[in-house]
């Protein structure tokens, strides 16, 4: 385990495996407060420093506008949200 990004005063802190390929790494240095999963690849991970929000198939600008409360309301109230977005694509002839 690569625990080099955890706080230095934490009991499990060790820089022994820092940057070692194949070692498991803690992605969030801070503890996770809340995890809201709507479906595969559509979740919100809330931790002390901020939040990580993902939504497969939705543009990044739209996902930035989402909040943890929005994910909660969709989960608890079974709301259906629809966002309109436009794409520029190249067609192969």
Q: What average pLDDT does range 65-76 have in this prediction?
A: 91
CA triple 53-58-80, angle to 5 deg: 85
Residue 13: per-residue pLDDT: 82
Hey, how many other C-beta atoms are within 10 angstroms of the C-beta on 25?
13
Q: Tokens 């002390």 identify what position?
A: 48
Question: If you average pLDDT over every residue of the chain, what do you get?
Answer: 86
Would you state the structure tokens that stand for residue 73, as one six-digit string? 């309301």
pLDDT 10s digits, 9-48: 878 788 888 888 888 887 777 788 999 999 999 999 998 8
In 3D space, the residue among 63, 59, 49 whose CA is nearest the CA of residue 86 turns out to be: 59
Confidence band, pLDDT 50/70/90 cuts, at residue 88: confident
């Amino acid at each position: 385990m690569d625990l080099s990004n955890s706080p230095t005063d934490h009991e499990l802190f060790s820089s022994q495996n820092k940057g070692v390929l194949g070692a498991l790494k803690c992605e969030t240095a801070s503890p996770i407060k809340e995890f809201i999963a709507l479906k595969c690849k559509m979740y919100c991970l809330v931790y002390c420093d901020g939040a990580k929000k993902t939504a497969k198939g939705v543009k990044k600008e739209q996902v930035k506008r989402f909040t943890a409360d929005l994910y909660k309301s969709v989960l608890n109230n079974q709301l259906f949200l629809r966002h309109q977005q436009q794409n520029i694509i190249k067609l192969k002839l």
